[in-house]
Amino acid sequence: MDPDLAMAIGMVLGVFSVPSILSALSDRRAPRVASFTLMASGGLILWAIANKPGGYSFADLPHVLISVIARYI
């Protein structure tokens, strides 16, 4: 898995886990699966940053997401 793909998957998982956590907290349930998903997202993002020479900047993130989507579609 290349770092760009890991970063894109991590960003998507992170964005989707936040509403799930908020929903679980508002229903007074423990956000178990959403917390695991958020940790997996963080792990993918950290792995991508560690394996990309030079790392990522915030300005690069939209380009990374679009290029991964374009590569696989």
Q: How many CA atoms lie within 13 A of 2 on its CB side?
A: 9
Please state the domain extents for the chain. 3-72
pLDDT-based confidence at residue 1 (cuts at 50, 70, 90): confident
User: So what's the pLDDT on residue 64?
Assistant: 95
Encoded tokens for 67 = 């290029």
Are 31 and 21 in contact by the 8 Å Cβ rule? The answer is yes
pTM: 0.90
Residue 53 and residue 3: Cα distance in Å, rounded? 10
Tens of pLDDT, residue by residue over 16-62, are 999 999 999 999 999 999 999 999 999 999 999 999 998 899 999 99
